[in-house]
Structure 1
């Protein structure tokens, strides 16, 4: 049909997002207020930051199931050290070393030991959670010290826009520049599209893979700091929440191809907008969390099916390894 010519997943999601926004504005009281719109943007900022990190991994044909665990447990350990009197610079240095170590171990096992990413990152998530919760922190929720700079993030605004939004925008722009205009960024696409061919022509596929998982861990830590600043604490129970699925949902529904080599930052922005508006609308409608999770699961399943239809895996792709 002429009307459907040229449509792809990204354009379809943009149309759906616009339709949902218009309907919510017309039917839901309080949706179109300035406070609520700022709340929507703020709510998707941390999710969008995590989705950017996940998208770089998926474009390179991988997956990182440890992001939420790294986000929560690294910041919880950092706050615990601050509350115990550790010097801020020493606490930050120790946590950064730990975060880098997680990213390096994930990347090394996936790139050089050739263990499937889904198993490596699932195991590392469980290990990080168990180690930090049992040995390094004393409770599920660790508060931000009153005299720390994170304590001022909750109310930090510029032109009435929360700080998290600017960090999200800056990181999105930096990732866009990296993927589109840097040599290593282009390598991510080539390696995701055909890892064997990329390796055969001399691309540093394995070092690039390690780099992606290190970047993912660092992005998760940044998201954790913003979360702690916003909530004035870090609750480690988020590791067992649905946030990881929300991250994948934002990436996949926006058009990041699970087969690798497709998508970009724009797809993350589109997916984050749709999910943010949907979650806000469901909250205003007072839909129970159980049903919200059911709706999100159905959307994720539909997005994966659409991705499979738009980006089919042939025999050669399958032989190169699934995530």
Structure 2
């Protein structure tokens, strides 16, 4: 037990993922095959990319509940533009610009207007979905137009037998790691998340850093959305009002990124994604109902938040915010 106390949450979650793999390999024939493992990682690669986006925001002591809505609407509008005759490269640029501008607005609401992140992003998510459905899109589901068919390689292609989404996920993780580890902006982001007042005193431009984290979140979210659309040849905007954003938060918190900010990194997202991927794959093979899977995920998320509260206790400032 004493040795267990020296383990980090990341190490414990990784150990649980390995134990689940062993258990499913023994109980479920075909679980440990190469094809199933590749499908497992591929199936959670988009969730992992969104986890990286959410992880960067949480490290900066924020949260982005508008992430999935922005991903769905911006990519669906991109496909709609192509269907309407806009050249593919121009449509992608317009969709990306919409995503980045919206992320900037969200960041400004949090950094300059000083609306608590959970309320600002919750409101922005509802606004983005409503605006997109009323002004930009005719239908809930926008299908991949013929002019954009070569984009399908992003979601359905392979490189040396490995699905392309896995490579995209790996690339996003690598870029996120390099950003946090080796760039000044990444160090600023972690410092602001760790102690906002101290960061300001040392001369760090705290407000622009907060805006930056939401811009990065929108950028990665758009990339994940393009892979999503390429995987199924469509974008269903109703995912914006689903529980998918809570799966993203589950990956982040379960992996060990503290909600109190300033702690954790990309490895935590990878470990959390791995555990959720193994769990979902095993439950799917066992034909467990989707509603029961949601109950299990909800219990895991609640448990992870309780553990995070114990391991990363809130300071006086966050405690006061929580009492409002």
Give me the TM-score of the superposition, normalised by structure 2. Answer: 0.96
Asked whether the 8 Å contact 1:75–1:225 carries over to 2, the reply is: yes
What is the aligned partner in structure 2 of residue 96 from structure 1? 96
> Is residue 2:6 matched to residue 1:6?
yes
Distance verdict in 2 for CA 1:154–1:60, change over 3 Å: closer
Deviation at 1:316, TM superposition (A): 4.2
Pairing of 1:125-274 with structure 2 (within 5 A): 125-148=125-148, 149-274=150-275
> Is residue 2:73 matched to residue 1:73?
yes
Pairing of 1:94-133 with structure 2 (within 5 A): 94-133=94-133
Q: Secondary structure at the match of 1:142?
A: strand
What is the aligned partner in structure 2 of residue 64 from structure 1? 64
| Residues in 1 aligned to 2:239 and 2:22: alpha-carbon distance in whole angstroms | 32
| Residues in 2 aligned to 1:282 and 1:109: alpha-carbon distance in whole angstroms | 40
1:45-78 CA distance string (max 9 Å, x none)? 1000000010000001000001100111111111
What is the aligned partner in structure 1 of residue 49 from structure 2? 49
> Is residue 2:32 matched to residue 1:40?
no
1:253-290 CA distance string (max 9 Å, x none)? 00000000100000001000000000000000100000
Distance verdict in 2 for CA 1:232–1:12, change over 3 Å: same
Deviation at 1:129, TM superposition (A): 0.6
| Residues in 1 aligned to 2:323 and 2:249: alpha-carbon distance in whole angstroms | 16
Deviation at 1:147, TM superposition (A): 3.4
Asked whether the 8 Å contact 2:155–2:228 carries over to 1, the reply is: no
| Residues in 1 aligned to 2:322 and 2:209: alpha-carbon distance in whole angstroms | 17
| Residues in 2 aligned to 1:154 and 1:14: alpha-carbon distance in whole angstroms | 27
Aligned CA RMSD, in angstroms, stands at 1.5
1:87-115 CA distance string (max 9 Å, x none)? 22332232122111111100111001101
Deviation at 1:321, TM superposition (A): 7.5
1:127-146 CA distance string (max 9 Å, x none)? 11111112211111111112
* Structure 1 stretches of at least 4 aligned residues deviating more than 4 Å after TM superposition: 319-323
Deviation at 1:303, TM superposition (A): 0.0
Asked whether the 8 Å contact 1:194–1:317 carries over to 2, the reply is: no
Give me the TM-score of the superposition, normalised by structure 1. Answer: 0.97
| Residues in 2 aligned to 1:114 and 1:226: alpha-carbon distance in whole angstroms | 33
